Amino acid sequence: MASLQPVRGMHDLLPLEFQKHSLIIEAARQLAATYGFAEMATPLMEFKEVFKRTLGDVSDIVSKEMYEIADRGGEDIVLRPEGTAGVARAIISEGLTQSMPLKFFYAGPMFRYERPQKGRLRQLHQIGVELFGVVDPLGDVEVISLAFDTLKALGLTHRVTLEINTLGDDESRKQYRNQLVTYLKDHHHKLSSDSQARLDRNPLRILDTKDEGDKKILEGAPLLSESLNPASQEVFAKIQEGLTLLNIPFKVNPHLVRGLDYYCHIAFEVTTTDLGSQGTVLAGGRYDGLMATMGGPSIPGVGWAGGIDRLAMMLHEDQLPAPKSPLAIIPMEERFDFQGLELAQRLREQGFVVEMTYGGGLGKRLKKANKMKARYALILGEEEVASHKVTCKDLESGDQIQLAVDQLGAFLRDKKPEGGE
Ligand code: ATP
Ligand code: MG
């Protein structure tokens, strides 16, 4: 029945998948904290205007990927497709513009109406950072270094490539745009229809084309790097120097661009060949014009967003922490249930993982204890309860020993260090 399926492109995160997501978020969260980035969250919904202003009407996201919600009050609301615009909106609406710099980390779901395929979901999940209020290219280096550290913590650096490029400052970009448009107009009839449409509205985006014919034409196009004024060259050089100093390997890809006017200087992507055509796992850049585009003061910004779903596809199960083996509580009769419940609580307070076995006699419950991969079963019968003791059965060796409840914690910790704190 169709209605019992999840919505197309939206997936359940069952425990194994959820653990991978958690591992990624936790690695990024901890590292972000070491750089002084504070975690924040914006609502899952925003006014459509927030994204229209920042991403622009012609962006893929605004023109065709937005989830629009029919709000009962008639407001134009959308499910957020990305994180930066909401953070910028929050900085303005929360009145944070006086206290620069601002350093934020976030993690959460985003929604885009895309054609679902491997690595391309309609509910996707991102981690991301934003650094506002810093023009110094050292800020760019730190932001990229944080991305790299996160990939390192996940053991992925040898499977990915960091590509960087510069869009230069406004002057360099304007000059380049004119050169590019002049060149592409000569090849107008051979361009894909998408690129033809972009030629007037968003010519830099054409550099980012996936169309093979367009790519051929672009091979002969002038390069942005040749239009950079000295100031822009200096900025890019400092970033490269910083990355080299920190032993962060990178490749300069002169075709890497961001199509919107508020992007400048650094643009970067982390890609992998392990995931087929959905190979970009993280992307970022500098957006000095974004806050002004939103209607706020002119505050520079740089940041990135990483795709958790794609990163999770790169993780192996053996990278996940092994689950702690539980202690299984077995009351021999119903009248000892509450003693079992109390014992479980007491041991959990000491940091042990404890599970109750429900239903059946001793044999059945021992089977359940084995199934939950318990190392010890803690059995409570008449004799044990009367003498404040517990029978502790080693499920590997079959040995059993009676212990006073008070000594149980110490005994189990001693036997099995990973069982308790
Ligand atoms: P793409 O070119 O793959 O569409 P994008 O430019 O739209 O990517 P960004 O908006 O820069 O992507 O988002 C940052 C990261 O989020 C991407 O590099 C990718 O890892 C992830 N991502 C983006 N869209 C999706 C999606 N639909 N499903 C899963 N992950 C996604
Ligand atoms: Mg996209």
Helices (H), 207-272: 212-218, 230-245
pLDDT at residue 204, rounded to an integer: 86
Domain match, 255 and 395 both = no
66 phi-psi bin (left φ>0, alpha ψ -120 to 50, beta other)? beta
> Which residues have any ligand 1 atom within 6 Å of their CB?
82, 112, 114, 119-121, 124, 126, 278, 280-283, 305, 307, 309-310
Question: Which two three-digit tokens encode residue 16?
Answer: 């194994």
Q: Tell me, yes or no, whether 82 lies in a domain.
A: yes
Asked whether residue 418 carries a pLDDT value surpassing 70, the answer given is no
Q: Tell me, yes or no, whether 196 lies in a domain.
A: no
What is the C-alpha R_g of the chain? 28
Q: Whose CA is nearest to atom 23 of ligand 1?
A: 307
For residue 115, which ligand has an atom nearest its CA?
Answer: 1
- Cα angle at 346 between 344 and 349, to 5 degrees? 105
Q: What is the CATH number of the domain that holds 346?
A: 3.40.50.800
pLDDT at residue 55, rounded to an integer: 83
Task: Give the type of residue at 242.
Answer: G
Domain match, 293 and 351 both = no
Q: Whose CA is nearest to atom 12 of ligand 1?
A: 283
CA 70 to each of CA 58, 76, 223, 405: distance values in angstroms, whole numbers, following the listed order? 22, 7, 45, 59
Indicate which atom in ligand 1 lies nearest the CA of residue 305.
Answer: 14
Q: Tell me, yes or no, whether 176 lies in a domain.
A: no
Domain match, 285 and 340 both = no
pLDDT at residue 421, rounded to an integer: 40
Domain match, 137 and 234 both = yes
Q: How far apart are CA 250 and CA 155, in angstroms?
A: 17
Q: How many CB atoms lie within 10 A of CB 77?
A: 18
Domain match, 24 and 128 both = yes
Domain boundary among the residues 297, 318, 339 is at 318
Sheet holding 327-331, edge to edge: 354-356, 327-331, 376-380, 389-394, 400-404
Domain boundary among the residues 318, 347, 366 is at 318
Q: How far is the CA of 211 from the centre of ligand 2 (A)?
A: 15
Q: How far apart are CA 254 and CA 219, in angstroms?
A: 11
Domain boundary among the residues 300, 318, 336 is at 318
Residues 6+ apart with CB under 8 A from 93: none
Residues 6+ apart with CB under 8 A from 363: none
Q: Whose CA is nearest to atom 29 of ligand 1?
A: 120
Q: How far is the CA of 62 from the centre of ligand 2 (A)?
A: 11
Higher confidence at residue 194 or residue 333?
333
For residue 310, which ligand has an atom nearest its CA?
Answer: 1
Picking from 225-229, 266-270, 383-387, 417-421, which range would have the lowest pLDDT averaged per residue?
417-421
Domain match, 263 and 391 both = no
- State which H helix or E strand residue 401 sits in: strand 400-404
Confidence of residue 209 (pLDDT cuts 50, 70, 90): confident
Average pLDDT of the chain? 93
Q: Tell me, yes or no, whether 195 lies in a domain.
A: no
Asked whether residue 412 carries a pLDDT value surpassing 60, the answer given is yes
Q: How far is the CA of 96 from the centre of ligand 2 (A)?
A: 30
For residue 121, which ligand has an atom nearest its CA?
Answer: 1
What tens digit of pLDDT does each residue of 351-402 get?
A: 999 999 999 999 999 999 999 999 999 999 999 999 999 999 999 999 999 9
Q: How far is the CA of 60 from the centre of ligand 2 (A)?
A: 7
Asked whether residue 419 carries a pLDDT value surpassing 50, the answer given is no
Task: Give the type of residue at 303.
Answer: G
CA 269 to each of CA 166, 282, 312, 342, 355: distance values in angstroms, whole numbers, following the listed order? 12, 6, 17, 53, 45
Confidence of residue 214 (pLDDT cuts 50, 70, 90): very high
CA 3 to each of CA 6, 7, 67, 405: distance values in angstroms, whole numbers, following the listed order? 8, 8, 19, 52
Confidence of residue 202 (pLDDT cuts 50, 70, 90): confident
Domain match, 37 and 152 both = yes
Domain match, 398 and 336 both = yes
Q: How far apart are CA 236 and CA 141, in angstroms?
A: 10
Confidence of residue 420 (pLDDT cuts 50, 70, 90): very low
Confidence of residue 415 (pLDDT cuts 50, 70, 90): confident
What tens digit of pLDDT does each residue of 232-246 get?
A: 999 999 999 999 999
Indicate which atom in ligand 1 lies nearest the CA of residue 304.
Answer: 14
Q: What's the domain count of the chain?
A: 2
Residues 6+ apart with CB under 8 A from 166: 224, 225, 228, 232, 235, 236, 239, 265, 266, 267
Domain match, 104 and 148 both = yes
b/e per residue 274-293 (b: at least 16 CB within 10 A): ebeebbbbbbbbbbbbbbeb
Picking from 43-57, 185-199, 255-269, which range would have the lowest pLDDT averaged per residue?
255-269
Indicate which atom in ligand 1 lies nearest the CA of residue 81.
Answer: 10
Asked whether residue 62 carries a pLDDT value surpassing 60, the answer given is yes
For residue 208, which ligand has an atom nearest its CA?
Answer: 1
Q: How far is the CA of 14 from the centre of ligand 2 (A)?
A: 25
Picking from 15-19, 206-210, 381-385, which range would have the lowest pLDDT averaged per residue?
206-210
Q: Which of 310, 313, 314 to mutate to test the pocket of ligand 1 (most atoms within 8 A of CB)?
A: 310
Average pLDDT over residues 182-210: 89
Q: How far apart are CA 337 and CA 290, in angstroms?
A: 62
Domain match, 331 and 402 both = yes
pLDDT at residue 2, rounded to an integer: 66
pLDDT at residue 417, rounded to an integer: 45
Question: What percentage of the chain has pLDDT greater than the value 70?
Answer: 97
Average pLDDT over residues 273-297: 93
Determine the structural domain holding residue 382 and report its residue range: 327-415
pLDDT at residue 169, rounded to an integer: 94
Q: Is the pTM of this model over 0.85?
A: yes
Give the highest mean pLDDT range of 48-57, 203-212, 366-375: 366-375
Q: Is the distance from CB of 80 to CB of 47 less than 8 angstroms?
A: no
Residue whose entry in the numeric block shows the structure tokens 């596809």 = 313
Average pLDDT over residues 121-148: 98
Domain match, 46 and 132 both = yes
Q: Which of 8, 106, 280 to mutate to test the pocket of ligand 1 (most atoms within 8 A of CB)?
A: 280
For 125, list phi and psi in degrees, rounded to 5: -130, 135
